[in-house]
């Protein structure tokens, strides 16, 4: 059991049971506020034609989050890192990893490419 983790959009969807994957036992989920936009976009596309279902799933995912962190402080550096990396990184995952490293807690992600020397990266 991890007392706290940072989750990117994919990690949050898995931790809340809205997407298949390896579910890690966690006490608290911490998320960047900017992740909510990516989450909303994904759910709107996933439930196209069923907005009530998208709203319900969005509510389920956001209620599971213990604390939302502002992305502004790490946004530009995350975007630069994501755009210059040799791998297929998305800015949400890079920014979430930066937050996890700052807080000293694991990151939960579906991204198979992310690595950290400072915190565990829990693949889901």
Question: Could you read off the pLDDT of 39-87 as tens digits, one per residue?
Answer: 999 999 999 999 999 999 999 999 999 999 999 999 998 888 888 867 6
Domain 2-112 fold is Rossmann fold (3.40.50)
Q: Is 29 buried (19+), middle (13-18) or exposed (0-12) by CB count in 10 A?
A: buried
Residue-range domain boundaries for the chain = 2-112
**Count of H-run helices and E-run strands, the chain:** 5, 5
Question: Please, are residues 21 and 56 in contact by the beta-carbon 8 Å criterion?
Answer: no
Which tens digits make up the pLDDT trace of 27-43? 999 999 999 999 999 99
pTM: 0.93
């Amino acid at each position: 059991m991890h007392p706290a983790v940072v989750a990117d959009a994919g990690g949050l969807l898995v931790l809340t049971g809205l997407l298949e994957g390896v579910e890690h036992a966690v006490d608290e989920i911490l998320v960047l506020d900017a992740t909510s936009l990516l989450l909303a976009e994904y759910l709107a596309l996933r439930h196209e034609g069923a907005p009530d279902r998208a709203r319900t799933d969005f509510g389920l995912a956001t209620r599971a989050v213990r604390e939302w962190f502002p992305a502004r402080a790490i946004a530009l550096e995350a975007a630069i890192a994501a755009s210059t990396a040799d791998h297929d990184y998305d800015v949400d995952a890079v920014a979430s990893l930066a937050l996890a490293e700052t807080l000293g807690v694991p990151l939960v992600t579906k991204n198979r490419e992310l690595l950290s020397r400072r915190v565990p990266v829990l693949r889901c």
